[in-house]
Amino acid sequence: MIATRFKTTGCLSPCGPSSIIVPALCLAILVAIGLCAKSAWAGENEGVVGSTTATTLDVVNVVGHLEEIQPQELAQYGVKVDVITSEQIQDGGYQDVASVLQALAPGLYVASKNGPFDYVTVSLQGSRTEDVLWLLDGVRLNNRLYAGTTPLDTLPASMVERIEILNGGQSLIYGTQAVAGAINIVTRSYSEITQGAVTLGSDSHGGRHFDSWLSGSVGKQQFVLFGSSDKSDGYHAFREQDYQPSNTDRDRGYDVQTLGIKYGYRFSDLLRLDLTYQHTDADLDYAQPYLVARDQNDRKENILTAKLDYDVNEWLSLYAKAYAHRWDTRYDTYYNSLSDPGTIDVLYDNAFWGYKDRGVNIFARLRVQSGVEYNVGFDQQSYGGRDEVLVIGQHNEHAGAVFAQARTTDDMSTRFKLSAGVRYNHPGDGRSALVWNVGSALDINQSLYIRGTVGTAFRLPTAEELYADDPQDERGNLDLKPERSSSVNLSIGGKLPGTGGMHWELTGFHRRINDLIDYAAYDETTGQDVFGNIPGIVTVRGGEADLSASFGAAISASLDYTINHSRASGSSRQIADIPVQQGKLQLDWHPTALPVGATLSVNHAGDLYTSDSFYSGRKRYGNYTVADFSARVFLDHDRRSRVDFHVYNLFDRRYATSLKRGQADAGGYYTYWNLGLPRTLNVTYSYAF
C-alpha cells in the first residue's frame, strides 16, 4: 500500500490548482455515473434486489437521525466500523467506558493510568492518543485545551447503548483530530414501550455502584432518563517501593455522578425534534507516589444538544444540530513539606482549568438523480477556555467548515458502493485545512467482500499549542500549521462456508503525518520550550486480523490481533506509548436452557517504550496479559432479575500502564510505575422491567 506525501503552505493538499484535483475528479465521476445509473447497472441488480453488503451482516442496525446512522452508513462505503453493544457491556460487568474499550474494542489499545475513571492512553491502528476523535451521541468531546487529555475519566459504562469505533481517517465528516479514527459513544435510546432497569453493586476495594434508566413514549413524545453513581475508597496505585515517606494519600479513589435526560417530539413521521442534557459531577484523585497530601480534580461537565430532523420530500432530507459543552475543573494540590515536616505546601487551591465549546451543524441529503445521493454540510464552532495550573490565558476561538460527499445508492448497485468527498476547515487562529476522502465496498459473493478508504485528515493546534505561556515550562505559537496526514485502509473478509457463521477479516493500514506539532525550539531568554511544526514525516503501517465464530447456540468467540510500526523520519524506534502488537480474545457462554452465563476477556499488550527524552533515557515497559472473568445468574424465568459476579485482573497481574518521573525524598529523581487495576471482585444485582 502506498500513501502520497503532500507539501503544503497551509492546506493539507497542495494549495495550487492540484489541491482539489483528486476529490473533484471523484465527485465528477460519481455525478457522471449517476446520470446513466439505471441503464448501466440494471442488469447487475437483477436477482439481488434488497440484498445488503457483507459489511453490515455483523453490525447493529440503527434507525434515527442522519447523524445517528452515519457510522453504519459509512460502513457501507468502505469504513471499518466495529460496534460494542450494551449487552456485551453488561455481561462483562465493566465500570467505565475505558474498561469497555480496553477489553472489547478490536485494534484499540487503552491503558487507564490507575484504573477506572482516570486519564487514559489510547492507540488506534498505531496512533497517538491525540489522533483519535471522541464523540458522545455525535457531539465532539475532545478536550479543547489539550490534545492528549481524553474525556473517558467521567464516562460510566452503564449509560451506554452502544459504542461505534470508526477506523481510519474520518476528518471529512467529523473534522479535526479524527486522524486515526473516531469513537462514538451512544447513550440509552428511545423505546416505544416503557422499560428500564436498576442496578446495585459493590467491589472488594470499597467501591459502590448504582445506576438506573427508564425509557418510553407518550403519544408523540419520547423520553429517556438515566443516572449513575460510582464511588471507590481507593486502592494502592503504585508499587510499594515507589512510595516515598512524604506521600500520605496512598489510596486512589473516585466519586462520579452522572445524570442524563433525552426528550424527543415527533411532529410527524417526517419531522422530529430531540433535546438532550447530560451532567457529570466528579471528584477524581490524581495519584502520585511522592509528596502528595491531596491531589484532586473536582469536575463539573454539562452537555446540551438540540437536534432537528426533517424529511422534506423524497429527494431532500435536512438535519440541524446545536450543542453547548462546558467543562469546569477545580484543582487542588497539597504537598507535605520536606523542609518543614508536619506542614503543608499548597501548590494549587481551587485553581481553575476548563473550557466552553459551542457549535452548530447543518446537514442536507439530496437525491436529485437515480444512483447517486449527495451529502452537504456546514459546521460552525466557537470555543474558549483557560488554565490557571499550566498557565493558558483566557482565549476565544472559532472555526468554520463546509463539506460535500457523493455516494452511490442501491439504484446503481446493491453489491458495489462508492463515495467521495471534500472538506474545507477554516479556523480563526492558525491555518486552514482542505481534506478529501474516497471509500468503496464490494460484495464479491455471499461469502467474500472487499472494502477500503483512502484520503487525508488533519489536527488543528490545541489551545495549549497556540496560547500556552507558562514562565516555567512552555510557550505556544500562533503560526502553527495543522498536522496533516494521508492514509489508506484496505480490508478483505467474509464468512467461511460450512462453519456455521465463522467470520474473518484482514485489514492493512498505512498513514503518514506531516507538520507534527511538538516542542520545536528552546528560548534561553525565557527558559521556555516553544511549540512548532517538526520537520519530517511520521509513518504508521500495520495490519489487523479479526476472527469471530459461534459454536452451537451457546458459545461465541472473537479474536483480534494488531501489529504496527509507528516511526518518525530517520528513526527505527517505535513512537513512545504505542504498543508494537496487541491481541484481544473474548469467549461467551450463553445457554438458552440454563439460567446462567459467563464471559472471559483476555487482553494482551506488547512492548511499549517511553520517549527518547525520558529523564533517564528510553525505557521499555508493557508486555502484559490481563484476563477478566464474569458470571451471571438469572433469578426468574423472564431473565429480568440477575446477579453478576465480575473479577477484574483475574490472575492479579501487576503491570505498568506507563512510566513516570518522581521526586525522591532523599533528593534527585526516580522512575515509578503507574499500575493497572489490581484483582478486584465486583458483585451487582440488576432488575429490568
Residue 613 banded pLDDT, cuts 50, 70, 90: confident
Q: Which stretch of DSSP H or E encloses residue 526?
A: none
The bridge status of strand 528-551 relative to strand 474-475 is: parallel
Q: Which stretch of DSSP H or E encloses residue 289?
A: none
- Rg, Å, the chain Cα set: 25
Average pLDDT, stretch 48-58?
A: 35
Distance of CA 547 to the CA centre of its chain: 22
Average pLDDT, stretch 597-607?
A: 97
CATH of the domain at 91: 2.40.170.20
Per mean pLDDT, which range of 44-48, 141-145, 157-161, 609-613 is the poorest? 44-48
Kindly report, residue by residue over 132-163, the tens digit of the pLDDT.
999 999 999 999 899 888 888 889 999 999 99
Residue linked to cell 447543518: 362
Q: Which stretch of DSSP H or E encloses residue 61?
A: none
420 in any annotated domain:
yes
3 in any annotated domain:
no
Residue 389 banded pLDDT, cuts 50, 70, 90: confident
Q: What's the pTM?
A: 0.90
Kindly report, residue by residue over 470-481, the tens digit of the pLDDT.
888 899 999 999
State the chain's maximal CA–CA distance in angstroms: 87
What is residue 14's predicted lDDT score, i.e. its pLDDT?
37
What is residue 144's predicted lDDT score, i.e. its pLDDT?
87
Q: At 298, which amino acid appears?
A: D
422 in any annotated domain:
yes
Distance of CA 16 to the CA centre of its chain: 34
Q: Is 311 exposed, middle or buried (0-12, 13-18, 19+ CB in 10 A)?
A: middle
SS3 content of the chain, % helix, strand, coil (to 5): 10, 55, 35
The three grid cell numbers given for residue 474, joined into one nine-digit string? 512552555
Q: At 418, which amino acid appears?
A: L
SS3 assignment, position 284: strand
Residue 570 banded pLDDT, cuts 50, 70, 90: confident
1 in any annotated domain:
no
Average pLDDT, stretch 606-622?
A: 88
Kindly report, residue by residue over 170-180, the tens digit of the pLDDT.
999 999 999 99
Q: Which stretch of DSSP H or E encloses residue 370?
A: none
Residue 107 banded pLDDT, cuts 50, 70, 90: very high
Look up the domain containing 261 and give its range.
17-688
Does residue 92 contact residue 229 with C-beta atoms inside 8 Å? Answer: no
What is residue 40's predicted lDDT score, i.e. its pLDDT?
40
DSSP single-letter state for residue 481? P
CA neighbor of 417 nearest in space, from 453, 449, 441:
441
Average pLDDT, stretch 641-652?
A: 97
DSSP single-letter state for residue 480? P
What is residue 28's predicted lDDT score, i.e. its pLDDT?
55
9 in any annotated domain:
no
Distance between CA atoms of residues 347 and 338, nearest Å:
14
Is the confidence at residue 663, as pLDDT, over 70?
A: yes
Beta strand segments in 91-176, E: 108-112, 120-124, 132-136, 139-140, 160-167
What is residue 27's predicted lDDT score, i.e. its pLDDT?
52
SS3 assignment, position 68: coil
Q: How high is the mean pLDDT of the chain?
A: 89
What is residue 31's predicted lDDT score, i.e. its pLDDT?
52
Residue 25 banded pLDDT, cuts 50, 70, 90: low
What is the number of other CB atoms lying within 10 angstroms of the CB of residue 59? 17
CB-based contacts of 617, cutoff 8 Å, min separation 6: none
What is residue 41's predicted lDDT score, i.e. its pLDDT?
41
Share of the chain above pLDDT 90, in %: 77
CA neighbor of 166 nearest in space, from 143, 186, 152, 184:
184
CA distances from 508 to 200, 505, 549 (A): 43, 10, 22
Q: Give one DSSP letter per residue of 5-49, joined into a string.
A: ----SSSSS-SSGGGGHHHHHHHHHHHHHHHTHHHHHHHHHTT-T
The three grid cell numbers given for residue 490, joined into one nine-digit string? 484496505
Does residue 55 contact residue 448 with C-beta atoms inside 8 Å? Answer: no
Average pLDDT, stretch 121-130?
A: 95
The helix/strand count (H/E) of the chain reads as: 7, 32
CA neighbor of 284 nearest in space, from 261, 319, 256, 317:
256
616 in any annotated domain:
yes
Average pLDDT, stretch 318-335?
A: 96
Is the confidence at residue 38, as pLDDT, over 80?
A: no
- Maximum mean pLDDT: which of 5-9, 465-469, 540-544: 540-544
11 in any annotated domain:
no
Compute the C-alpha angle 503/507/508, nearest 5°: 165
Distance of CA 138 to the CA centre of its chain: 11
Give the total number of structural domains in the chain. 1
Torsion from C-alpha of 427, 430, 432, 437, nearest 10 degrees: -90
5 in any annotated domain:
no
CA distances from 147 to 24, 131, 141, 468 (A): 31, 8, 11, 13
What is the number of other CB atoms lying within 10 angstroms of the CB of residue 241? 9
CA distances from 476 to 177, 366, 480, 614 (A): 19, 43, 9, 22
What is the number of other CB atoms lying within 10 angstroms of the CB of residue 36? 12
Kindly report, residue by residue over 495-531, the tens digit of the pLDDT.
987 776 799 999 999 999 999 998 889 998 988 999 9
What is residue 432's predicted lDDT score, i.e. its pLDDT?
85
